[in-house]
């Protein structure tokens, strides 16, 4: 039996390989397409969403994992560990956290962490917790360090087109039309647990990605925690990913670049050609 187990909502966007490597159990969120509910990453993949929308289908929606489902999964996971730390998508973005807390009240030995983040901002925290547990740190020390770490995550991404945000009601048709007409690519970041537009780039997506990465890293280059950086994307080309990884590598800041694909939660809201870099900064 594990001393401390780690789990996370599927919005953590960790690959199956990374989740297995660090022993992180992933709980699939629900994605609704044409009135039918699918489990993220199991019954529905981002490519399915993109194909559905490109063929004229409505944008997919997401729904929080409910308390009963959390209770069931927590109960099963607790059979394999002395204590469980679970990470949810930020409470400012979903009711997953509230539902997970209610479930934890029913299942002893479960600590729920509000990541205040999304995508691999959650994944980064889960991996950090797994590493701390592996070296024998106590539960209270791990949770205290996580509270500090989550406030120092740098999570942002750049979006090629606003079509999905428009379809999902998150920006107006006029805004989307203007952005597409002027070739504007917004950069969106997490601030205090909510999403905010930080900058707008103009030009071809590949060029905008390069400027976005350069400016994002230049802004905090002396404060980056030099262990890992996630390069997380939704349906970006290999050329874009390789250039982005080479650019990050050329800075010589991070010991490891982990390339992951965004799951259905991010993909259904942002659409294809979305790319983000996620890392931690020093306090």
pLDDT single digits (tens) 167-186: 544 443 334 333 453 478 88
Q: Is 16 part of any domain?
A: yes
Q: Is 82 part of any domain?
A: yes
Q: Is 40 part of any domain?
A: no
Structural domain including 271 reads 153-280
Same domain, 72 and 202: no
Report the CATH number that the domain containing residue 85 is assigned in CATH: 3.40.50.10170
Q: What is the CA radius of gyration of the chain?
A: 18
Choice among 78-82, 166-170, 268-272 with the minimum mean pLDDT: 166-170
Looking at residue 162, its pLDDT comes to 76
Residue 142 scores a pLDDT above 80:
yes
Looking at residue 171, its pLDDT comes to 40
Looking at residue 269, its pLDDT comes to 87
Same domain, 243 and 139: no
Instruction: Report the C-alpha gap between 23 and 175 in whole angstroms.
Output: 43
Looking at residue 174, its pLDDT comes to 30
Residue 283 scores a pLDDT above 90:
no
Residue 58 scores a pLDDT above 60:
yes
Q: What is the mean pLDDT of residues 238-265?
A: 97
Q: Is 248 part of any domain?
A: yes
- Domain boundary, last residue among 93, 116, 150: 150
Looking at residue 182, its pLDDT comes to 46
Cα–Cα–Cα angle for 119, 194, 30, rounded to 5 degrees: 45
Q: What is the mean pLDDT of residues 28-38?
A: 95
Q: Is 34 part of any domain?
A: no
Q: Is 188 part of any domain?
A: yes
Q: Is 69 part of any domain?
A: yes
Q: Is 265 part of any domain?
A: yes
Same domain, 141 and 182: no
Q: What is the mean pLDDT of residues 195-200?
A: 86
Mean of the per-residue pLDDT values of the chain: 92
Task: Specify the higher pLDDT residue, 246 or 166.
Answer: 246
Instruction: Report the C-alpha gap between 267 and 274 in whole angstroms.
Output: 8
Looking at residue 165, its pLDDT comes to 64
Same domain, 162 and 142: no
Burial class (CB in 10 A: 0-12, 13-18, 19+), 240: middle
Choice among 43-47, 127-131, 183-187, 246-250 with the minimum mean pLDDT: 183-187
- Domain boundary, last residue among 150, 182, 211: 150
Q: What percent of the chain has pLDDT over 70?
A: 94
Q: What is the mean pLDDT of residues 64-92?
A: 97
Same domain, 22 and 128: yes
Same domain, 235 and 189: yes
Cα–Cα–Cα angle for 231, 90, 78, rounded to 5 degrees: 95
Tally the domains of the chain.
Answer: 2
Instruction: Report the C-alpha gap between 171 and 164 in whole angstroms.
Output: 9
Measured CA to CA in angstroms, residue 203 lies from 84, 175, 182, 232 at distances of 46, 17, 8, 21
Predicted TM-score of the model (pTM): 0.94
What digits encode the pLDDT tens for the residues 204-251? Answer: 999 999 999 999 999 998 999 999 999 999 999 999 999 999 999 999
Same domain, 141 and 164: no
Same domain, 70 and 161: no
Residue 150 scores a pLDDT above 70:
yes
Residue 195 scores a pLDDT above 50:
yes
Same domain, 174 and 244: yes
Looking at residue 169, its pLDDT comes to 45
Across 91-122, b (16+ Cβ under 10 Å) vs e yields bbbbebbebbbebbeebeebbbbbbbbbbbbb
């Amino acid at each position: 039996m594990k001393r401390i187990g780690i789990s996370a909502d599927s919005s953590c966007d960790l690959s199956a390989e990374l989740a297995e490597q660090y022993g992180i159990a992933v709980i699939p969120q629900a994605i609704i397409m044409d009135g039918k509910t699918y489990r993220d990453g199991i019954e529905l993949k981002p490519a399915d969403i993109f194909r559905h929308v490109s063929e004229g289908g409505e944008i997919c929606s997401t729904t929080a994992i409910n308390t009963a489902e959390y209770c069931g999964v927590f109960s099963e996971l607790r059979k394999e560990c002395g204590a469980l730390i679970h990470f949810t998508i930020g409470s400012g973005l979903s009711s997953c956290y509230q539902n997970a807390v209610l479930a934890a009240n029913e299942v002893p030995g479960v600590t729920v962490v509000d990541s205040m983040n999304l995508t691999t901002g959650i994944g980064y925290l889960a991996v950090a917790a797994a590493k701390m547990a592996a070296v024998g740190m106590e539960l209270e020390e791990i949770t205290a360090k996580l509270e500090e770490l989550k406030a120092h995550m740098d999570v942002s991404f750049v979006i090629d087109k606003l079509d999905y945000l428009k379809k999902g009601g998150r920006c107006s048709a006029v805004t989307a039309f203007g952005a597409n007409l002027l070739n504007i690519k917004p950069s969106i970041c997490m601030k205090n647990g909510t999403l905010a537009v930080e900058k707008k780039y103009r030009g071809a997506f590949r060029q905008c990605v390069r400027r976005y990465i350069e400016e994002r890293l230049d802004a905090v280059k002396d404060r980056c925690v030099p262990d890992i950086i996630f390069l997380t994307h939704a349906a970006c080309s290999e050329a874009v990913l390789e250039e982005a990884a080479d650019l990050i590598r050329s800075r010589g800041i991070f010991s490891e670049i982990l390339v992951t694909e965004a799951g259905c939660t991010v993909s259904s809201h942002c659409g294809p050609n979305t790319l983000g870099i996620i890392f931690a900064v020093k306090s």
